[in-house]
């Protein structure tokens, strides 16, 4: 292992601050506790310092604590990061305020699913960069490894693009509600240190009203009673959804996606393609005529498939891979097998998604499951997270062993209609922690009556690390509730970019 790997160096310092927060311990006390830390060895099989985390990264590790020394061994730096988190959770303080850990502890650990994602929506409400960085840290405390950034939508286009700056100028809420190119790089670099991928989503052909503020000619004109630009409340607007028959649109979209490629380093771009409502397309006589000339039937899913195929080819041309919502698969689009299909339908209703899992994997595609984990829907009490925790992706799965391998993981989705920087943390944590355990731990670890105590302890741990997570059980977490001043720790490292 390269001794100069910044990922390891920064995480060692990070966890030192977690164990000995400067606001609580003076320098002398921290030096006393360093004795334990000096007896930790991080052993990594892989020689190099990887540039960024990626698809299929190895996060397995072992911890052996014998005779007062600890060996944290992994095949990659990403496993080492997860080992440091587990090690931090094994420590405790004695009555005389000394850091301790149980001797003769041996752990071999690896994730059950390789993809453990969290979707955050920054279009409906803007989430400030410092708040996003805090959530990335909280993700690492829960061993999530993908930040799915639903960055733009109908409500706002807060992403600054080098060549297409008018998209954010015309589509933002205000000058303050924009992610600059430096902001994006800052978030990606922060996530890299925590072993978390950043996958952006450019959702279309629906969810594009703010894009249409710069390119109104791309939107479909909606008709009613023989007249154009006619809204029908609850059915259609005056103009909405990209018009797939408008060929000059595609070179522009290719250029936009090329700029996504330059900004975001991950191999994948999420192309969305969900919730396309056909009423406006059906109302437009030019689209009807175009479909007839193309020998399309009057099934408008074929029109959506035409559009989706074009964008998938564009991503392939850019040497990227795609993730799409399940609508694309349902519309019969010919999809490259490198494309991952994300299931969302059935959320939050109890509609079975098992049949879709069977079908998609039988056709050879890798699947990400989100349907049961839309945590923007809230209810009172513990049964809420019980329902998420007890989801078993393979419970009704009837596929082969090869098909099972195609279920690469799951993703928690927090849509932001009623969430912004003021309440995102209490809405996310520790609710998402219950799903994180589901995605990491073996299938037989599934009893919520046992899990509630671990979840309560994790909630207290998050509080100590400056994440204002909501209560799980009755009781308290030490003295952190008193003004929360001891929760706002790590001033030197954890200012997250707030202005002084």
CA torsion, ordered 237, 241, 247, 250, to nearest 10 deg? 140
Tokens 């998609």: give the residue.
360
- Say how far residue 293 (Cα) sits from the centre of its chain: 42
Pairing of the two strands 340-343 and 219-221: unpaired
Contact residues for 335 (Cβ-Cβ < 8 A; gap 6+): 312, 324, 328, 329, 341, 365
By annotation, the residues acting in catalysis are 275
E-state strands within 387-498: 407-414
- Compute and round to an integer the Cα radius of gyration of the chain: 24
Look at residue 325 and give its three-state secondary structure.
strand
DSSP state of 104: S
| CA 19/CA 37 separation, integer angstroms | 10
Tokens in use for 70? Answer: 């600890």
| CA 450/CA 441 separation, integer angstroms | 13
- CA separation (Å) from 426 to 104, 123, 430, 432? 37, 19, 8, 10
């Amino acid at each position: 292992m390269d001794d100069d790997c910044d990922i390891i160096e920064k995480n060692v310092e990070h966890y030192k601050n977690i164990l000995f927060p400067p606001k609580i311990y003076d320098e002398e006390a921290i030096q006393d506790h360093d004795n334990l830390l000096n007896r930790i060895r991080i052993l990594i099989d892989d020689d190099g310092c990887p540039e960024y985390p990626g698809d299929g990264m190895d996060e397995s590790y072992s911890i052996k604590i014998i005779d007062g020394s600890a060996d944290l061994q992994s095949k990659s730096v990403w496993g080492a990061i997860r080992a440091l988190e587990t090690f931090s959770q094994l420590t405790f303080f004695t009555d005389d305020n000394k850091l301790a850990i149980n001797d003769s502890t041996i752990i071999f650990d690896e994730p059950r699913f390789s993809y453990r994602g969290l979707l955050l929506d920054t279009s409906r409400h803007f989430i400030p960069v410092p708040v996003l960085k805090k959530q990335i840290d909280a993700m690492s405390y829960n061993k999530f490894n993908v930040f799915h950034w639903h960055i733009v939508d109908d409500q706002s286009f807060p992403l600054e693009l080098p060549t297409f700056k008018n998209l954010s100028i015309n589509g933002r809420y205000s000058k303050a509600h924009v992610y600059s190119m430096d902001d994006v790089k800052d978030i990606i670099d922060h996530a890299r240190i925590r072993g978390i991928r950043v996958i952006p989503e450019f959702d279309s052909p629906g969810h594009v009203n703010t894009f249409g503020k710069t390119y109104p000619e791309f939107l479909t004109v909606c008709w009613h009673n023989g007249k154009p630009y006619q809204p029908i409340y609850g059915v259609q607007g005056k103009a909405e959804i990209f018009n797939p028959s408008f060929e000059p649109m595609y070179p522009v979209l290719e250029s936009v996606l090329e700029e996504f490629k330059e900004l975001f380093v991950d191999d994948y771009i999420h192309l969305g393609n969900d919730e396309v409502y056909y009423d406006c397309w059906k109302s437009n006589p030019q689209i009807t005529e175009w479909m007839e000339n193309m020998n399309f039937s009057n099934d408008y899913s074929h029109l959506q498939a035409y559009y989706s195929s074009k964008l998938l080819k564009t991503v392939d041309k850019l040497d990227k891979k795609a993730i799409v919502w399940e609508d694309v698969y349902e519309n019969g689009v010919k999809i490259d097998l490198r494309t991952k299909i994300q299931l969302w339908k059935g959320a939050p209703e109890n509609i079975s998604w098992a049949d879709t899992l069977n079908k998609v994997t039988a056709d050879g595609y890798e699947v990400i499951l989100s349907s049961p984990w839309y945590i923007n829907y809230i209810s009172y009490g513990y049964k809420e997270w019980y329902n998420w925790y007890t989801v078993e992706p393979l419970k009704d799965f009837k596929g082969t062993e090869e098909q099972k391998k195609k279920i690469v993981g799951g993703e928690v989705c927090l849509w932001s209609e009623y969430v912004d920087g003021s309440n995102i943390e209490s809405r996310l944590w520790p609710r998402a922690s219950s799903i994180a355990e589901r995605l990491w731990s073996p299938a037989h670890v599934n009893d919520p009556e046992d899990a509630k105590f671990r979840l309560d302890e994790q909630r207290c741990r998050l509080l100590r690390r400056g994440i204002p997570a909501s209560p799980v059980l009755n009781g308290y977490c030490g003295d952190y509730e008193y003004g929360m001043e001891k929760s706002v720790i790590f001033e030197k490292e954890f200012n997250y970019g707030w202005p002084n």
